[in-house]
């Protein structure tokens, strides 16, 4: 691509992202919960399969949370309520993790991102075959419309929950503005972005857990040692393998769970 074409593409991307940022308060929202998914306008077998994939993904998230591989997220567990959806419970309180498919999620998906964190949860977009947003979305399907496996869905949930619990990323208008200024004008994406380093650290930890599944104690211990060595040597410019200190307070006290 020529320099002129690259400049033009980046200029268009900047303009579109800023316009989309201003429009985030005016898009349709479809909350994704197991109960709602069972009412989706798709064949019953597809509904059941999608609910099972999400349920199994949450179970995998909790397996990770209980493992010695977890570092970047604070101690806690995920609960998938049939009616209310997903939440993250800690000793100090509860974070609602609303999963929603929206027009803004469509825009984010069009730009090549699977999901976008936000206040109280995260947003995904509609995917092929576009039958119903509750089933055909980028929580459960990739950008080409192929179904994602349980571990890939769990990875997405853990990444976005790290954003919410750490109060990092596109959380609210002003944080969103700062997030996109850094992404668009400084060309920082993935772990190079200051609000993605802890989140990609969670990804690394989860991937190490996945590698350990089905292996013996010696191999698991080796994977843990390799992860610990990476954490000890990692630069703050690329990794944050610890929860925020002090952590943001959960919006719901423990007594209200």
Tokens (6 digits) for 218: 């010696």
Encode pLDDT of 84-107 as tens digits. 999 999 999 999 999 999 999 999
Return the beta strands (E) in 106-195 as ranges: 115-118, 121-124
pLDDT (0 to 100) of residue 17: 54
Q: What's the mean per-residue pLDDT of the chain?
A: 89
Contact 171, 164 (CB under 8 A): yes
Averaged pLDDT for residues 206-224? 97
Convert the pLDDT of each residue in 161-185 to its tens digit: 999 999 999 998 888 889 888 888 8
Q: How far apart are CA 159 and CA 201, in angstroms?
A: 9
The pLDDT score that the predictor gives to residue 126 is: 97
What 3-state class would DSSP assign to 230? Answer: helix
- Only one residue has tokens 């997405």, namely 156
Give the span between the Cα atoms of 107 and 17, in whole angstroms. Answer: 9
Q: Is 145 left (phi over 0), alpha (psi -120 to 50) or beta?
A: left
- Domain spans, the chain: 3-256
Check the CA dihedral 221-223-224-229 and report its sign.
positive
Closest CA to 80 of 105, 104, 51, 109: 51
Provide the token pair at 18. Answer: 């800023």
Burial class (CB in 10 A: 0-12, 13-18, 19+), 146: exposed
């Amino acid at each position: 691509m020529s320099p002129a074409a690259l400049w033009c593409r980046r200029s268009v991307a900047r303009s579109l992202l800023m316009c989309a940022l201003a429009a985030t308060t005016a898009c349709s929202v479809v909350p994704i919960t197991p109960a709602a998914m069972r009412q989706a306008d798709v064949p019953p077998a597809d509904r059941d399969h999608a609910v099972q994939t999400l349920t199994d993904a949450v179970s995998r998230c909790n397996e990770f949370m209980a493992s010695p591989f977890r570092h970047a997220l604070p101690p806690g567990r995920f609960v998938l309520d049939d009616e209310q959806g997903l939440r993250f419970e800690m000793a100090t309180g509860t974070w609602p993790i609303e999963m929603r498919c929206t027009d803004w999620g469509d825009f984010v998906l069009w730009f090549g991102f699977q999901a976008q964190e936000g206040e109280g949860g995260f947003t995904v977009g509609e995917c092929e075959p576009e039958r119903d947003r509750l089933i055909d979305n980028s929580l459960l399907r990739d950008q080409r419309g192929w179904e994602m496996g349980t571990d890939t869905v769990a990875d997405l949930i853990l990444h976005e929950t790290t954003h919410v619990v750490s109060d990092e990323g596109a959380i609210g208008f002003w944080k969103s503005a700062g997030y996109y200024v850094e992404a668009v004008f400084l060309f920082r994406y993935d772990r190079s972005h200051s609000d993605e380093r802890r989140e990609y650290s969670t990804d690394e930890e989860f991937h190490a857990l996945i590698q350990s599944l089905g292996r013996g104690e010696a191999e698991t211990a080796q994977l843990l040692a390799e992860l610990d060595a990476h954490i000890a040597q990692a630069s703050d410019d690329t990794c944050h393998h610890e929860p925020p200190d002090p952590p943001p307070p959960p919006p719901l006290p423990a007594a209200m769970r």
